[in-house]
């Protein structure tokens, strides 16, 4: 447990913790969590006004220094730096305390230098130049101990989470002297590094020693390639898109590099069929749209590079084989069920459909497989009965000889107008 009391210069503050109170015109810490010691008092300057008082009700008291010298019979003492005191109550050594004047052991941080080593795309080193005198005390067994003076390295970084790069967030690492360097992950955004010391200054709410680097321009790079299939609305098209970036062709995909926020110098995309990886299409845009016109399994690879680092990411795309099925009946009665003559298709590169009446008159035609005939001729309802369709289409897949698969279909379609 720590007691922190902040005071203004020339004013006295009184704080109570355990069996002692303190009067001081400077900030101080009353620490009771020091191993093998009842209390440790750290003052940011000891003056003639600094006092430690025993708050118990006993009256038979004697203060001694750790070396056994008599100090006082009063409840109140005026402490000195680097001195231990034993309080005897009724001639029994009851409390052992130690006093440190923090102001006499100033930390100095002269510089903090960023060093890029061979693994600079993964880690960087920060080399500090500093002095930090030891804060030494003696425990109740008169054994010398050293209080840790904790240094804190602070900077900002970004991380990829929840499918996006987050806003820069504060990061910190701590070390206790002696140390010669900090090794941290290379940042994914431009940042400044600061080193401050120590935690005792922070706890006393006094300005810690601190040094800051100039802005470090990040070079580490990381990409999270994403492909999004362009939405298709024709309900009669099978498998318009899949969660694994697959679907009916021609498959239109928007690709995003999603690189961390730095000044990336170079993007190089490669698109190739897994059957022929040495034959590829290349793009150099940050993001782009591509249409896969042939069925097959593809890989899309991104090589993103900064001034010094490179990152590779990829994803796989599958364009499904074609299919085309034609119904033989439809009922354009407005009930929302089978109201149009529509084919059911997948992965068609081209398409043409024509519908004729029994006298050979063309009553409907379209080049869009997603569109159907609603059973009207020139805006008027067509007569029920048999009609004749002719469909020619080309699939995005190839036959065994490497030629596009062709569809030539014809037959009757019956128009019914049930209730």
Is residue 230 within 8 A of residue 254, CB to CB? The reply is yes
Distance CA 363, CA 361 (A): 6
Q: What does pLDDT average to in each consecutive run of 10 residues of the chain (419 residues)?
A: 37 51 95 93 96 92 94 95 96 96 97 93 96 96 95 97 95 94 96 96 94 96 94 87 83 96 91 94 96 96 95 96 96 91 96 97 97 95 96 94 94 87
pTM above 0.95, yes or no: no
Provide the CA 416 distance to its chain's centre, in angstroms: 60
Give me the CATH number covering residue 312.
2.60.40.10
Distance CA 178, CA 199 (A): 15
| pLDDT value for 142 | 93
Domain boundary among 103, 124, 153: 103
Domain boundary among 88, 103, 118: 103
Residues 234 and 313 in one domain: yes
Residues 293 and 368 in one domain: no
Residues 368 and 279 in one domain: no
Is residue 179 a part of any domain in this protein? yes
Number of domains comprising the chain: 4
Residues 333 and 272 in one domain: no
In our burial notation (b when 16+ CB lie closer than 10 A, e otherwise), range 158-188 reads beeeeeebeebeebeeebebeeeebebebbb
Tokens standing for residue 336: 């929302």
Range of the domain at 403: 323-415
Residues 264 and 349 in one domain: no
> What are the backbone angles phi and psi of residue 203, rounded to the nearest 5°?
-70, -30
């Amino acid at each position: 447990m720590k007691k922190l009391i902040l005071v203004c210069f020339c004013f006295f503050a009184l704080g109570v913790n355990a069996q002692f109170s303190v009067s001081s015109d400077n900030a101080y810490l009353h620490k009771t969590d020091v191993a093998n010691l009842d209390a440790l008092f750290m003052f940011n300057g000891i003056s003639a006004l600094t006092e430690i008082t025993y708050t118990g009700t006993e009256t038979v008291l004697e203060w001694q220094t750790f070396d056994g010298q008599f100090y006082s019979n009063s409840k109140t003492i005026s402490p000195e730096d680097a001195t231990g005191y034993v309080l005897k109550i009724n001639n029994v050594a009851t409390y052992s305390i130690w006093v440190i004047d923090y102001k006499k052991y100033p930390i100095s941080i002269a510089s903090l230098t960023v060093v890029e080593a061979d693994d600079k795309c993964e880690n960087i080193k920060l080399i500090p130049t500093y002095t930090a005198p030891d804060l030494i005390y003696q425990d109740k067994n008169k054994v010398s101990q050293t209080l840790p003076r904790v240094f804190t390295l602070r900077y900002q970084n970004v991380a990829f989470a929840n499918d996006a790069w987050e806003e820069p967030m504060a990061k910190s690492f701590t070390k206790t002297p002696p140390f010669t360097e900090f090794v941290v992950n290379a940042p994914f955004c431009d940042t400044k590094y600061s080193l401050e010391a120590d935690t005792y200054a922070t706890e006393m709410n006094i300005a810690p020693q601190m040094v800051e680097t100039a802005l470090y321009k990040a070079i580490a790079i990381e990409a999270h390639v994403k492909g999004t299939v362009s939405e298709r609305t024709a309900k009669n098209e099978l498998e318009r898109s899949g969660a694994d970036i697959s679907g009916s062709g021609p498959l239109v995909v928007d690709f995003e590099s999603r690189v961390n926020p730095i000044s990336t110098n170079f993007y190089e995309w490669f698109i190739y069929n897994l059957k022929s990886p040495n034959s590829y299409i290349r793009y150099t845009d940050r993001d782009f749209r591509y249409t896969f016109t042939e069925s097959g399994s593809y890989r899309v690879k991104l090589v993103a590079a900064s001034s010094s680092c490179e990152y590779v990411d990829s994803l796989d795309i599958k364009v499904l084989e074609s299919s085309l099925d034609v119904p033989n009946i439809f009922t354009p009665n407005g009930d929302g069920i089978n109201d149009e003559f529509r084919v059911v298709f997948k992965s068609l590169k081209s398409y043409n459909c024509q519908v004729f009446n029994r006298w050979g008159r063309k009553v409907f035609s379209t080049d869009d497989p997603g569109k159907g005939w609603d059973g009207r001729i020139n805006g008027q309802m067509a007569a029920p009965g048999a009609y004749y369709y002719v469909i020619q289409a080309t699939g995005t897949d190839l036959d065994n000889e490497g030629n596009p698969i062709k569809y030539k279909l014809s037959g009757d379609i019956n128009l019914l107008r049930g209730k």
